[in-house]
Amino acid sequence: MSSNKQIDIVHRGHEEYQTSFDAMRSFTQARDEHTQDQLWIVEHPPVFTLGLGADRSHVLAAHDIPTIQTDRGGEVTFHGPGQVVIYLLIDLRRRHKKGRLYAKEFVYQIEQAVIDTLDGYNVAGERIVGAPGIYLKEGIHRGAKIAALGLKVKANGCTYHGVSLNVSMDLQPFSWINPCGYVGLATIDLASLGMAVPLAEVQNALAQRLQFLLTDA
């Protein structure tokens, strides 16, 4: 097995969700122990995605937004313009000083990267036990969800899918679903908190934080 722990950052730009989904699966199927780990930064047109065991009744009114079944964990979520989406094509066997980074630790590191990124904009984020993702810790929007994550971990320890962070987007489609399976869960973005931050800036900040934390795992 390669001992190279470098993680490459790949900017894929604006891309249809299905294109990214197919590419992730193809990359993971073709990779071997020498394949470089990658973070894919992408921005999707509006789409609802369902986790492997998701209940379709959580899509309350799709309107004209496509709904795509995936093989990640979790329930239903929304992706759209103005949202950071980073897919993690990672071999967990490389990501720990003792030889393997387990899925629970991997999720923790992803969430920490989001918390650290938000902290850079003076926004306090926190975890909620049993509800993967990051939520606002304080203020009038306390408890609103600002970041979601969902992963697929193959039997060989290789991962795909990833994390999304709301920057400046149309939040209305979140009201057309039960986000992550929670009825009435409030969602928020940085723009709603008065943060006029370029999407590319947040994309790079989160990708670099993920790269640092996972390389140093």
Half-sphere exposure of 15 (CA within 13 A, CB side): 19
- Helices (H) and strands (E) in the chain — how many of each? 3, 10
Which residues have CB under 8 Å from 191's CB, separation 6+? 82, 167, 168, 169, 197
180 is catalytic: yes
Burial of 81 (0-12, 13-18, 19+ CB in 10 A): middle
Q: Are strands 145-153 and 159-166 parallel, antiparallel or unpaired?
A: antiparallel
Distance CA 214, CA 217 (A): 5
Query: How many CB atoms sit inside 10 A of residue 61's CB?
Result: 9
Identify which of 157, 156, 147 has the alpha carbon closest to the alpha carbon of residue 210.
147
- DSSP designation for 212: H
Amino acid at 64: D
Maximal CA-CA distance, the chain: 49
Which of 47, 148, 180, 205 is flagged as catalytic? 180
Active site residues: 180
